[in-house]
Structure 1
Amino acid sequence: MPASPTPSDRDGRYSRPDASMSLLTSVMDHGLDEGYAEAAKARAGEGPRRMPTALKGKAVLALGLALATTVVTVGAVTSRQAAPTLAKERDALVQRVKDANGNTDHLQQQIQDLRGKVDRAQSQALQADGNDALAQLAGRAGTAAVSGPGVKLLLEDASGTGAGGSVSNPREADGFSNTGRLKDRDIQLVVNGLWRAGAEAVSVNGQRLTELSAIRAAGDAVLVDNRPLVPPYTVLAIGNGAKFAQTFQDGEAGRYLKLIQDGYGIKSTLTVQKKLTVPGALGITLRYAQPDTSGAATP
């Protein structure tokens, strides 16, 4: 016999099986919240317009647009007015740098001219006295210009990298960039090779090398006696002509030039000169050596 249903209240009505889940039932039956529904109905009644309808709202909007337009216009005018001023200041600075470099070159040329006059006057005085020992000493020390047979070596930058060769390669050292640009170590090795081959005087781009000279680097620039040089580099060396050139090419420096030419594309051209002139060095100052006036030689 089936069990009779149990009334849920005094009226004898039966409760739903999901009566205890009224909240879930409401959520399932009404997916949209009543607040959202009322807001959507109100928006549909207002229509698609977004612009304010009240006079005060329109005035505020117009004022905001006018203010934004003014700011943009003032910014554009200010930028246009400032651009010529900045360009003029930049041009003025560039011109000042050019003028300073021109003055430096002019003073350098004056120094060389005066040095030449002093050397000629000194040579004339020594020749008149019949003693050229001082002139020879100045030529060896590098303070006077000298002439004679020798070689002209032209070194040029190139692009590209590579490897090869059988001689010691300074470019394998830590911190040394293997590129197609000539570095201070390359110039140092070449100059030392010329000295070993028998050079009596050497200059790089017109800068005479002496016992006090230094070849260094400042970034990518090569400095000779603290003067920056611009490639290509012209190296002049006075020596015993063709024999001098062959000795240099057969030495370590000549093989090194061949290595960096094959490996990195750096160009080097060596030509024998019947006569060339190596200028004298400028600004040499002895800081520690003093002339010996005692007349006694110290072993």
Structure 2
Amino acid sequence: MSQQHPEGSNASGRARPDASMSLLTNAMHHSLDDGYAQAAARREAEGRSGMPRTVRAKLWLATGLVLAALVVTVGAAQARVSAPELAKERQELITRIDDGDRRADSLQKNVDRLRKDVETRQRRALEKHGGDEAEVAGLLSGALPVHGPGIKLVVDDAKDTQDSDSGGPRQSSGFSDNGRVRDRDLQRVVNGLWESGAEAVSVNGQRLTSLSAIRAAGDAILVDNKPLVPPYTLLALGPGKKLSSAFQDSADGQYLQVLQENYGVRTSISTQDEVRLPAAPSLIVRTAKPVQTGEGSR
């Protein structure tokens, strides 16, 4: 008669060394769940397996495999055939873009050349028909580069450009005041320099004339349709100290002071022994004739 031993002990009554690891020992010796093992045994006994048994099922499987292989083969062939055509179209598009860029560059060079030729002819006509006052006319029209004593005025945006809803001299329905220099600010400064006695004015190297336009495009300031970036350096030709004092005492000079004190716009003004202003890049020559009436010329 066999004698049973307590669980976790051997025939000698001593405890087995792996008694404390019975769960791990059971998992190693019974890696497949009993339920799965029984199901596999039943399928094997009934003659069932994962592969089809009938001829019809095998034919359907073979047909499916052939169709899958055919789809993959056709797709690969089409990709191989269309790849050179796509590469050719891409290269043709690149070539057209390059040709367009070259034509645009050539046309721009031609425009620049013609513009310089027109400006040269206009200046010659001004000097020829200006008589004894040709130099003065060239100076006032911006046709000639000038140099001499003057002032240097620098206007820059405020360091803190957060929006502010407070009122002030720049308040309007279309703009919020955020410490940026606006086109209308630059307009007032330039007009103040002219009114204070400046003989010629430039902004960031752009010579101004009586026909110059200072406009805005978003936050950018355009002078004669050319965008400028801050800081805005204005050079004005004229008697340095007298011109500086006259501008700072004018209404536009006081306006600039208000921008500095209330909105943080940074400004600095200094007299210069010599400033150099280039000729205006675009010159428009116009003539005027007196109108003859019965009451005399006017």
Q: Normalising by structure 2, what TM-score?
A: 0.59
What is the distance in 2 between the residues matched to 1:103 and 1:158?
41
SS in 1 for 2:117: helix
SS in 2 for 1:189: helix
User: In the alignment, residue 63 of structure 1 is paired with which amino acid?
Assistant: L
Q: Point out where structure 2 has 5 or more consecutive residues left out of the alignment.
A: 1-42, 53-57
1:86 correspondence with 2:117? no
Task: Tell me by how many angstroms 1:177 deviates.
Answer: 6.1
Conserved 8 A contact 2:123-2:143: no
Counterpart for residue 283 of structure 1: 284
Q: Point out where structure 1 has 5 or more consecutive residues left out of the alignment.
A: 1-40, 127-131
Task: Tell me by how many angstroms 1:147 deviates.
Answer: 4.8
Write the deviation string for residues 53-92 of structure 1: whole angstroms up to 9, x where unpaired: 5433222111111233334445655544444433333344
What is the distance in 2 between the residues matched to 1:181 and 1:77?
55
Instruction: Rate the CA distance shift 1:179–1:83 in 2: closer, same or farther, 3 A.
Output: farther
SS in 1 for 2:296: coil
What is the distance in 2 between the residues matched to 1:82 and 1:241?
65
User: In the alignment, residue 151 of structure 2 is paired with which amino acid?
Assistant: V
What is the distance in 2 between the residues matched to 1:283 and 1:68?
67
What is the distance in 2 between the residues matched to 1:93 and 1:268?
45
1:262 correspondence with 2:269? no
Task: Tell me by how many angstroms 1:119 deviates.
Answer: 4.4
Write the deviation string for residues 199-252 of structure 1: whole angstroms up to 9, x where unpaired: 233233333320x43222344553334x32343554332232123124434523
Counterpart for residue 106 of structure 1: 113
What is the distance in 2 between the residues matched to 1:141 and 1:108?
17
Counterpart for residue 192 of structure 1: 191
SS in 1 for 2:271: strand
User: In the alignment, residue 104 of structure 1 is paired with which amino acid?
Assistant: V
Conserved 8 A contact 1:145-1:277: yes
Counterpart for residue 231 of structure 1: 229
1:47 correspondence with 2:45? no
SS in 2 for 1:108: helix
User: In the alignment, residue 112 of structure 2 is paired with which amino acid?
Assistant: D
1:203 correspondence with 2:188? no
Instruction: Rate the CA distance shift 1:246–1:75 in 2: closer, same or farther, 3 A.
Output: farther
Conserved 8 A contact 1:157-1:231: no
Match of 1:67 among 51, 69, 74: 74
Counterpart for residue 241 of structure 1: 240
Q: Say what the alpha-carbon RMSD is for the aligned residues.
A: 4.4
% identical equivalent positions:
31
SS in 2 for 1:191: helix
What is the distance in 2 between the residues matched to 1:247 and 1:201?
15
User: In the alignment, residue 217 of structure 1 is paired with which amino acid?
Assistant: A
